[in-house]
Amino acid sequence: MTAPDSLPLHALAEDNLAAASPDLLRAMVKTFADALMSAEADALCNAEYGQVSDERVNHRNGYRPREWDTRAGTVELAVPKLRQGSYFPHWLLERRRRAEQALISVVATAYLLGVSTRRVEKLAESLGVTQLSKSQVSAMAKHLDEQVTAFRNRPLDTGPYAFVWVDALTQKVREGGRIINVHALIAVGVNADGHREILGIDVATAEDGAGWLAFLRSLTARGLSGAASSWSSPTLTPAW
């Protein structure tokens, strides 16, 4: 059986983020869930939070906490309360598993490709949320991008890393109206606590020495140290 030319990088990143970076996932899932609930509450009030409007029909009245169990651990949600009537996100109650998968999927997409306002809209639509304003969508995308950037540039200070796996996976992306191949360089390490951790990921137009050198130097600059060995293989397992 011939090995595939391209592995499912999105699924790989999703699995590794779920297993190796639960704090990141919890924070991002909470960000999106809270933002979606806030947008729905704004729609019920017919005005955004804090906005002075003659068309407003209701007001916010604080929040009530609710725990949501996910693969990344328990997420503490803040469900908006209204002065008149009540609100609960039915998409979360009725489609709990679907909601979790959709939110984790958009986190993985953000980590790999960045988040666009269109992706946020499509995520919300998949959960049945159709009343997001453009400003709300833009704010959600910007906040998630900031979280991803902070994670990707974080100091690698949980070492020394006993083992580091490095791999390059080919992906097809759309650029300038055409489909091209890019190479995603990814590094996964085992930290001092014995847990897997995504150390870094970068996208290069070619898998060559210059690209690998720049990628590895960026890891070293962020504090990577103590690795006994590293290698590259299609399945993130030792080549020797």
Indicate if 172 and 144 belong to the same structural domain.
no
Residue 5 lies in a domain: no
Number of structural domains in the chain: 2
Indicate if 33 and 133 belong to the same structural domain.
yes
Indicate if 64 and 175 belong to the same structural domain.
no
Q: DSSP E strands: which ranges in the chain?
A: 60-70, 73-82, 163-175, 178-190, 196-204, 230-232
Residue 106 lies in a domain: yes
* Domain interval for residue 219: 156-232
pTM above the 0.85 mark?
Answer: no
Residue 240 lies in a domain: no
Rg (CA), the chain: 21
Residue 4 lies in a domain: no
Please check whether residue 83 is in contact with residue 58, taking contact to mean a CB–CB distance below 8 angstroms: yes
Residue 130 lies in a domain: yes
Last residue of a domain, one of 152, 167, 194: 152
Burial class (CB in 10 A: 0-12, 13-18, 19+), 165: buried
Indicate if 92 and 76 belong to the same structural domain.
yes
Q: Look at phi and psi of residue 85 and say left if phi exceeds 0, alpha if psi is from -120 to 50, else beta.
A: left
Residue 239 lies in a domain: no
Residue 54 lies in a domain: yes
What pLDDT tens digit does each residue of the chain (240 aa) get? Answer: 333 333 344 555 555 555 555 576 777 788 878 888 888 888 889 888 878 888 889 998 899 898 887 776 788 888 999 999 888 887 776 666 667 777 777 666 666 666 777 777 777 777 767 667 777 778 777 877 787 788 888 888 777 787 888 888 887 777 777 888 888 888 888 877 787 888 888 888 877 888 888 998 999 899 887 665 444 443 333 332
Q: Which residue has 């890891």 as its token pair?
A: 219
Please check whether residue 240 is in contact with residue 231, taking contact to mean a CB–CB distance below 8 angstroms: yes
Indicate if 121 and 198 belong to the same structural domain.
no
Indicate if 110 and 208 belong to the same structural domain.
no
Last residue of a domain, one of 152, 168, 191: 152
Residue 174 lies in a domain: yes
Last residue of a domain, one of 119, 152, 185: 152
Indicate if 67 and 135 belong to the same structural domain.
yes
Burial class (CB in 10 A: 0-12, 13-18, 19+), 202: middle
Please check whether residue 82 is in contact with residue 35, taking contact to mean a CB–CB distance below 8 angstroms: no
Indicate if 71 and 123 belong to the same structural domain.
yes
